[in-house]
Structure formats: C-alpha cells, structure tokens
C-alpha cells in the first residue's frame, strides 16, 4: 500500500457500522411504536390502520433496507464479489417488495376514504423516489447481476449507479421527513406546539432517520472503506482504459 494512502481503521469502521444499525433499527421500531401506540395499530381493510402500514413499510424498505443493501459492499469488502453482489440484489429486492406494499397501503386507503392522490410535495417526492428506485434496481440487475452489457459499458455505468444509489438514499430520508411533518399536522395540529409525547416521538424519529442517512453517507463515500481492487476488477479497468483512451495496458 502507498504510504500516503489513508489506512483502513477497522475499530472506527466497525463502530460506525454498529451506530448505523442502531439508528436504522431504532427508526423502524419508533415508526412501529408511533403507528401502533398512538395511531391505532395496523390492518388491511381500507381504514386509517391500513394507512399506518405506509410509514412502517417505507422506513423499513426504502430507508433501512436500501441503506443496508449499499453497506454490504463495505462490510463484506474482502468476500467474493459475486456473493456480495447477490446479497446486494436480494436485500434490494426485499426493500422493493416492502416499499410496494407501503405504496399500495396508502393509495388503497386514499381510495377507500375518497382522498385525492398526489396533491402534496411529500407524494411527489415519494413517487419520484420509488420510480427511480425501481429503475435503479432493474438497471443494476441488467448491468451487474446478469451482465448482458459489455464490460466497458458496465464500467462506464458503475459510477452513475453508485451516485444514483446515494441520491436515492437522500431522497428516501428527505421524503420521510416531509411525510412525518405532514402526518403530525394532520393528526395533532392543535397540540403539536405543546410538546405532546406523540409529536416529540415523531420528531426524534426524524432525527434518527437523518442521522442514519449521514452515517451511511460517510461510510459509503470514504475511500479507505471501499473494496480493495482485485485482479478481475483491475483487468476490467485496464480494458476500459485501453478502449476509451487508446492506451496500452501497462506491462509489469
């Protein structure tokens, strides 16, 4: 390793991964407590209890699981790339299924209650997030899991895929914050300013979601936590360089 390269600090990394998991799990639990304890629990019958599944599924699927799907590349940085790719794809699939259940729950509830669809900033950002998430999943599948694209196309698409993953996480956290505020205004508008327990709990949930996003963003963007290049990856990048810049692969 080059002397100037920052060293991989395992205790700091493990600590930050642990913190991210505590923040993510606490967000899911708090969403469940909010909807279960303060909003009447869960059901699938077009009632307000069906709406309650929406925040729970979105926080679990689009925030926590989506974040963890990205984190596997850092946590299993020394495992075989094929297995890590598979795990990344499977967790994303789970996130996608749970998010779709959350979407159906709220649209179904709106239909049953005669509430118009897609009128709020939250719903616009939410729909954009889910559509992009589906697109990202399909593209990832086509490019990386069952690679039908040529190796230089894959190498060209990879930075865009990584960037879009981070954007999606930011969008999911931002959309959740908008949803939390909107729900509080619908449910406890007259008492929100008096620091009632439900309001405080929901605000804490927002802070946890934001912190989860920040810790994950840090872990995913630090160079020292990236996967070390392996011969297969190196030969791919040399191949790509040769094709794009017309250079010759360096000989030992």
Contact set with ligand HEM (CB under 6 A): 54-55, 58-59, 62, 106-107, 110, 117-118, 120, 122-123, 126-127, 129-130, 172, 175-176, 179-180, 182-183, 186
Backbone torsion region of residue 40, taken as left when φ is above 0, otherwise alpha when ψ lies between -120 and 50, otherwise beta: left
> Which of residues 24 and 225 has its CB atom nearest to ligand HEM in the complex?
24
Residue 210's contacts (CB-CB under 8 Å, 6 or more residues apart) are: 173, 177
Residue 158 CA: distances (Å) to CA of 59, 149, 206: 26, 12, 31
Cβ 66 to ligand HEM shortest distance, Å: 9
Minimum distance from residue 133 beta carbon to ligand HEM (Å):
8
Query: Please, which residue, 20 or 175, has the CB nearer to ligand HEM?
Result: 175
The CA distance from 159 to 162, in Å, is: 5
Sign of CA dihedral 162, 121, 25, 202: positive
Using the minimum distance from each CB to ligand HEM, give the nearer residue, 130 or 215: 130
Minimum distance of ligand HEM from residue 193's CB (angstroms): 19
**Residue 158 or 188 with smaller CB distance to ligand HEM:** 188
Q: Which is nearer to ligand HEM, 17 or 106 (CB)?
A: 106
Residue 133: both structure tokens together = 């998430």
Q: Distance (Å, rounded) from C-alpha 138 to C-alpha 230?
A: 26
Instruction: Give the DSSP per-residue string, 125-180.
Output: HHHHHHHHHHHHHHHHIIIIIS--S-HHHHHHHHHHHHHHHHHHHHHHHHHHHHHH
Q: Shortest distance, CB of residue 178 to ligand HEM, whole angstroms? A: 8
The CB-of-252 to ligand HEM minimum distance in angstroms stands at 49
Cβ burial of 25 (10 Å; 0-12, 13-18, 19+) is: middle
CA 235 to chain centre: 30
Least distance in angstroms from the C-beta of 148 to ligand HEM:
29
Nearer to ligand HEM, 80 or 121 (CB): 121
């Amino acid at each position: 390793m080059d002397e100037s390269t920052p060293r991989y600090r395992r205790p700091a990394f493990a600590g930050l991964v642990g913190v991210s998991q505590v923040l993510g799990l606490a967000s899911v639990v708090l969403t469940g407590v909010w909807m279960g304890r303060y909003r009447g629990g869960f059901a699938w019958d077009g009632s307000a209890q069906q709406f309650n599944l929406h925040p729970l599924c979105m926080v679990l699927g689009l925030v926590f699981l989506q974040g963890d799907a990205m984190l596997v590349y850092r946590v299993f940085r020394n495992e075989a790339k094929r297995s890590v790719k598979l795990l990344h794809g499977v967790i994303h699939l789970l996130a996608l299924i749970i998010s779709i259940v959350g979407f159906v729950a709220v649209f179904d509830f709106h239909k049953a209650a005669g509430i118009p669809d897609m009128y709020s900033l939250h719903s616009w950002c939410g729909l954009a997030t889910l559509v992009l998430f589906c697109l990202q999943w399909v593209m990832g599948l086509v490019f990386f899991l069952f690679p039908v694209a040529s190796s230089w196309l894959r190498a060209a698409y990879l930075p865009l895929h990584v960037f879009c993953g981070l954007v999606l996480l930011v969008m999911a956290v931002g959309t959740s914050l908008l949803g939390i505020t909107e729900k509080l205004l619908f449910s406890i508008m007259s008492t929100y300013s008096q620091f009632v327990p439900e309001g405080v709990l929901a605000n804490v949930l927002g802070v946890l979601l934001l912190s989860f996003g920040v810790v994950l963003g840090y872990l995913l963007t630090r160079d020292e936590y990236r996967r070390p290049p392996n011969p297969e990856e190196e030969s791919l990048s040399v191949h790509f360089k040769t094709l794009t810049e017309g250079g010759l692969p360096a000989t030992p």
